[in-house]
Amino acid sequence: MPADTKVGSVSRARYDALVGEDRKLVLDETKIQFKIGDDALEIKPMRPHGGSLPATGEEPFEGQQRLEMFADDIGVSYNQVRTYRQTASRWPREHRAQGVSFDIHRILEKLDDRFEKIADPLPHRPYRRRPRLPGPPPLRVGQPLRHRHPAQRQRPAHRPRVLGPRRRPPPPLTTPTPPQAVTLK
């Protein structure tokens, strides 16, 4: 793609600069999310699987209250802190991949082989235009059609010309009969 090509309303060079800046922001965001998760783990460590009962010397539901207080104090929701804590617990610092977003870590956290998957990621393929398919080029606005319009096509004999709700035929026209005189006895 030539350097003077526009991407949206900006030049290609400006677009590349914006992408570089925003990639750095995504990496910073990932660091922030893991830091909040690590801090939440320090405040309330994860229990072993199936640990619904409080640990020894711990009040029931005390951990949730501490995490809610932590979330309120730093200005994020409790559910965000809980998600960051869960992901940080599944990804020890030595296995976190640099340059990979927090959301990818969160998605992969459920896999048993997540450390191998993150170490050998699929190659990133930038968006490329699909090659044109063989055949006639696509139509442009105002270009005449090369085939008959659907209204000009032959209809099967069993299909009515006008589709829509069926209507009853009107009753036949008859001349009204005058009312009969009633005689009283």
- Condensed to tens digits (0 to 9), the pLDDT of residues 66-95 reads 889 999 999 999 999 999 999 999 999 998
Residues 8-35 have a mean pLDDT of 89
Nearest-angstrom CA–CA distance, 151 and 100 = 54
Nearest-angstrom CA–CA distance, 87 and 110 = 9
Enter the tokens of residue 133.
Answer: 């398919």
Please report which residue ranges of 45-149 form alpha helices under DSSP H.
62-74, 78-90, 102-108, 114-119
Q: Residue 10 — φ and ψ, nearest 5°?
A: -120, 160
SS3 for 6? strand
Nearest-angstrom CA–CA distance, 18 and 35 = 26
pTM: 0.56
Residue 144 has a pLDDT of 63
More confident residue, 132 or 2: 132
Residue 139 has a pLDDT of 63
Residues 120-135 have a mean pLDDT of 67
Q: What is the pLDDT of residues 128-182, one digit of tens each?
A: 666 666 766 666 666 666 665 565 566 566 665 555 566 677 777 777 677 777 7
**Residue 26 pLDDT exceeds 70:** yes
Q: Give the angle subtended at the CA of 19 by the CAs of 132 and 106, to the nearest 5°.
A: 95
- Per-residue burial over 26-49, b if 16 or more Cβ lie within 10 Å, else e, is eeeebeebbebbeebeeebeeeee
